[in-house]
Amino acid sequence: MPGRSAAAAPGRVLALFDLDGTISVHDTLNRYLLEFIAHHPGCALRLPRALPALVRFLSGHSDQGALKSAWIRAVLGGRSRAELASWTAQFVPPLIARGLHADALSAIAAHRAAGDALVLLSASPDLYVPALGEALGFTATVCTAIAWQADRLDGALASPNRRGTEKARCLIELRRRYGLPVTAYANAASDLEHLALAEYPRLVNGTRATRAAAARLGIPCLRWR
């Protein structure tokens, strides 16, 4: 297991940032979809389509990836690439202006100034995460891919859901690709698996239970506002 350090990493690093709850104040996918519904009220009539997936998830018969796909399909299924690109361009600037932790932006800026490789590693979908990563100056983005049928959104997952064990696999691959020690920032209990693999992990804004679990792993905790 890599060594832990609460000190700043010496030399250049690969800085991996989670998105929801780490950089952003709130869940970005819910915000993306709910604000789309607010601009297109007719979409609300499609929401019952996601109920079977919700029931399966709550009963333990499906995972978060299946629920995510059903939620996206119910709201955005069949929308064109141009329409969703336009919505993403409308969505991202207010999110940056009012929906991100100032301390997260400072940390990103510090890593950029140090010449570190910056990667946004998120379970949220590629409908908007790459655009957000580009706007924030990330070197690359790794997130959950969503399937299309020609020019229309299908909504199925076209990649594994980038959380838990899959996120840990991504960290290992990114470390190999960049050849750098890893500083990783994330907030959730499901993130502890990949944080435990980083040379310089940071749990950000974790719940009390998650902070306790992080402490047992020797992972330092931060509070970002």
- Residues 192-219: tens digit of each pLDDT: 999 999 999 999 999 999 999 999 999 9
Give the pLDDT confidence score for residue 52 in this predicted structure.
87
pTM (two decimals): 0.92
Give the pLDDT confidence score for residue 213 in this predicted structure.
98
The token pair that represents 85 in the structure block: 């690109």
Strands 140-144 and 117-125, by their bridges, are parallel
d(CA 188, CA 44): 30
Domain 14-222 CATH (choose: 3.40.47.10, 3.40.50.720, 3.40.50.1000, 1.10.3720.10)? 3.40.50.1000
Give the pLDDT confidence score for residue 1 in this predicted structure.
41
User: Which pLDDT tens digit goes with each residue over 85-118?
Assistant: 999 999 999 999 999 999 999 999 999 999 999 9
d(CA 48, CA 102): 37
Element (H, E) at 120: strand 117-125
**Dihedral over Cα of 120, 121, 126, 129: its sign:** negative
